[in-house]
């Protein structure tokens, strides 16, 4: 999912990229046979080695206008992990610099509102912010590439399902009579025409860009986006030697239980249940797989190892970009202040 709001792109990218990786991995695992009682049988002939994960530069968003870090980052030597804390909830080095989803949502709302003000000024009085929306409620769900599973919970209800904030979901809900934009409106919104039919000058880039300018001012990028850095740390961590070994141990454990999955991502995103809504009950097979996943992850110390590796990479990035991160925090705070002013003026 592509977003125009710089800090949100990284969050959306992690969800999308993780799903893409897992979908490819899960394709083979979903082909396993199933016993009459619903328990999948082992398929020894199936390839179980985890697929290669993308290099960091393969998952970085494009540099403009997303506020990415620019050129492909210099390769980071693999850090040594002398000890792996058992507590996976320990804070991460980039946490103090992390942009909040609530603030990102405020920015998105303001961009839509500012664009609507521009459209009204051009004579499109029937335009509302919902005609062309730059966000969805699901955009603000946060998930890491690799996440722990509670065995007891999984055995009873399968893999957890995140639900959007009810207030945000209500804001995103479209009325039954929501109309589509007209051709003339889209020309003004996207800037594909110089003037409206009535002769009003359309700003360069259209009302969409004009609305963004009200929020971003002259600073449309972050020199160091903490969300993009955290994403890089996630994928670098998956390639760490210790994490790869833990992942292989997880695969061996799952194979021994009769489940042919290449990685925890492929198990969580098995096509048999990946699209299950949170309101739908999990199948018996999903519960069995999720519980086995949790047990094998605990036995291989997978999640603490992954978090330790990610923490180490984040620390390296923080040490290298501390000043730029501080400056970017100031830029982002400016976006939020301007966004709040736009919304207050509605």
C-alpha triplet 165, 170, 174: angle, nearest 5°? 135
What are the backbone dihedrals phi and psi of residue 201, each rounded to the nearest 5 degrees, phi first?
A: -75, 130
**Looking at residue 253, what is its pLDDT?**
98
- Dump pLDDT digits (tens) for 100-118: 999 999 999 999 999 999 9
- Dump pLDDT digits (tens) for 36-66: 333 333 333 222 333 333 333 333 332 332 3
- Dump pLDDT digits (tens) for 206-246: 999 999 999 999 877 899 999 999 999 999 999 999 999 99
For the chain, the average pLDDT equals: 82
Q: Tokens at residue 258, please?
A: 């009769």
**Looking at residue 206, what is its pLDDT?**
97
pLDDT higher at 24 or 311 = 311
Burial classification of residue 243, based on how many CB atoms lie within 10 Å of its CB (0-12 exposed, 13-18 middle, 19 or more buried): buried
Contact 242, 326 (CB under 8 A): no
- 74: pLDDT confidence band, cut at 50, 70 and 90? low
Contact 207, 189 (CB under 8 A): yes
CA dist 247 and 265 (Å) reads: 11
**Looking at residue 175, what is its pLDDT?**
79
**Looking at residue 252, what is its pLDDT?**
98
DSSP code of 201?
B
- Dump pLDDT digits (tens) for 273-285: 999 988 899 999 9
pLDDT at 69 over 90: no
Is the peptide bond between 208 and the residue preceding it cis, with omega within 30 degrees of 0? no
Q: Tokens at residue 210, please?
A: 């004009």
The predicted model gives 85-104 an average pLDDT of 92
pLDDT at 137 over 50: yes
Contact 249, 160 (CB under 8 A): no
CA dist 26 and 22 (Å) reads: 6
- Which pTM was predicted? 0.77
Contact 279, 155 (CB under 8 A): no
The predicted model gives 131-146 an average pLDDT of 92
Determine the longest span between alpha carbons in the chain, in angstroms: 72
- Dump pLDDT digits (tens) for 166-205: 999 998 888 777 788 999 999 999 999 999 999 999 999 9
Single out the residue of 229, 218, 217 nearest to residue 69, CA to CA.
229
**Looking at residue 72, what is its pLDDT?**
55
**Looking at residue 278, what is its pLDDT?**
86
């Amino acid at each position: 999912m592509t977003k125009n709001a710089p800090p949100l792109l990284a969050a959306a990218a992690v969800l999308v990229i993780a799903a893409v990786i897992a979908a490819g991995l899960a394709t083979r695992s979903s082909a396993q046979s199933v016993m009459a009682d619903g328990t999948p049988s082992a398929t020894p002939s199936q390839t179980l080695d985890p697929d290669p994960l993308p290099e960091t530069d393969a998952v970085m968003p494009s540099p403009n206008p997303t506020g990415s870090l620019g050129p492909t980052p210099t390769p980071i030597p693999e850090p040594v992990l002398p000890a792996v804390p058992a507590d996976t909830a320990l804070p991460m080095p980039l946490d103090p610099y992390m942009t909040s989803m609530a603030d990102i949502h405020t920015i998105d709302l303001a961009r839509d509102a500012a664009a609507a003000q521009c459209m009204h000024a051009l004579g499109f009085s029937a335009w509302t912010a919902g005609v062309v929306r730059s966000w969805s409620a699901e955009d603000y769900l946060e998930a890491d590439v690799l996440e722990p599973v509670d065995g007891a919970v999984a055995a009873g209800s399968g893999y957890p399902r995140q639900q959007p904030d009810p207030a945000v979901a209500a804001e995103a809900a479209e009325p039954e009579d929501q109309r589509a934009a007209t051709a003339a409106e889209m020309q003004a919104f996207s800037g594909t025409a110089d003037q409206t039919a009535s002769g009003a000058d359309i700003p360069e880039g259209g009302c969409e860009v004009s609305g963004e300018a009200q929020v971003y001012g002259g600073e449309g990028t972050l020199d160091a986006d903490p969300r993009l850095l955290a994403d890089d740390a996630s994928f670098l961590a998956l390639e760490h030697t210790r994490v790869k070994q833990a992942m292989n141990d997880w695969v061996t454990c799952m194979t021994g239980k009769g489940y042919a999955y290449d990685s925890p991502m492929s198990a969580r995103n098995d096509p048999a249940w990946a699209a299950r809504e949170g309101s739908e009950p999990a199948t018996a097979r999903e519960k069995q797989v999720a519980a086995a996943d949790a047990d094998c992850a605990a036995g291989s110390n997978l999640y603490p190892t992954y978090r330790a590796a990610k923490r180490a990479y984040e620390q390296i990035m923080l040490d290298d970009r501390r000043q730029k991160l501080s400056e970017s925090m100031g830029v982002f705070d400016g976006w939020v202040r301007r966004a709040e002013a736009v919304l207050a003026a509605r």
